[in-house]
Amino acid sequence: MKNVAHLLCLSALLACGFAAGGTGPSDNGRILYKWVDAQGVTHYGDRIPPEYATQEQHILNSKGYEINHVEAQKSADQQAADEQKRLSTEQRQLRDKNLLNTFASVQEIERLRDQRMQLVADQTKVTNSFLDILTNKMKKMRADSQRFKPYSSDPKAPPMPDQMAEDLVRLTNDMRTQQQNLQQKRAEEASMSIQFESDIDRFKELKHIQ
């Protein structure tokens, strides 16, 4: 029933237009606007009410055919989402272009992956070795510190020398730094593996390789 009412409304408006200015393209460019209100009801008229100026609009000629369409004005969040979508599309297109320009086969990507992964693995091995050295040094230093206050239970134990205290602090910080480096290398290795697998899958898709 709502659609019938809309058609009757449009017919009445067009009929008024025909009576006022004739029919067909020679109607002095008479146009009608179509919009939808907050209740979802479609309206037709010679102009858009100000409260609906930012909403979607359809512009009709004197015969009722749509000749133009105006999208609803987007909110700041919608505009930001559209911009992010555009950037993501551009980045994907650039990535595809780089893949095709850089590699001729899946084997080339795999060779580069293996080289990069081996480099990170070697760096991880060096960090592990250095951390082992620091750990052993810390064990010895802690054992030595048991002869001094506040670690010794002997009430006659001397206070820890300032140099030893400074060395303990420095060694603790060095170990913490190397542990963080080790975590970063492991995270880098995992991320690199995922990225290369993604590149290989995308390259196969672009090259239509099964």
Q: With 0.75 as the threshold, say if the pTM is over it.
A: no
Does residue 209 sit in helix, strand or coil?
coil
Q: What is the pLDDT of residue 62?
A: 72
Query: Do 119 and 198 fall into the same domain?
Result: yes
Q: What is the pLDDT of residue 5?
A: 46
* CB 57, CB 70: distance < 8 Å: yes
Q: Quickly tell me which residue has 């239509």 as its tokens.
A: 208
Q: What is the pLDDT of residue 4?
A: 43
Query: Do 129 and 198 fall into the same domain?
Result: yes
Query: Do 109 and 197 fall into the same domain?
Result: yes
Tell me, yes or no, whether 88 lies in a domain.
no
Query: Do 130 and 54 fall into the same domain?
Result: no
The tally of domains found in the chain comes to 2
Q: What is the pLDDT of residue 42?
A: 84
Rounded Cα–Cα distance for residues 206 and 96 (Å): 8
Query: Do 195 and 121 fall into the same domain?
Result: yes
Buried b or exposed e, range 2-17, using 16+ CB within 10 angstroms: eeeeeeeebeebbeeb
Last residue of a domain, one of 47, 70, 93: 70
Range of the domain at 33: 2-70
Q: What is the pLDDT of residue 72?
A: 62
Q: What are phi and psi of 69, to 5 degrees?
A: -145, 125
Rounded Cα–Cα distance for residues 159 and 155 (Å): 10
Query: Do 57 and 139 fall into the same domain?
Result: no
Rounded Cα–Cα distance for residues 12 and 20 (Å): 12
Tell me, yes or no, whether 84 lies in a domain.
no
Residues of the chain with pLDDT under 50: 1-27
Q: What is the pLDDT of residue 70?
A: 75
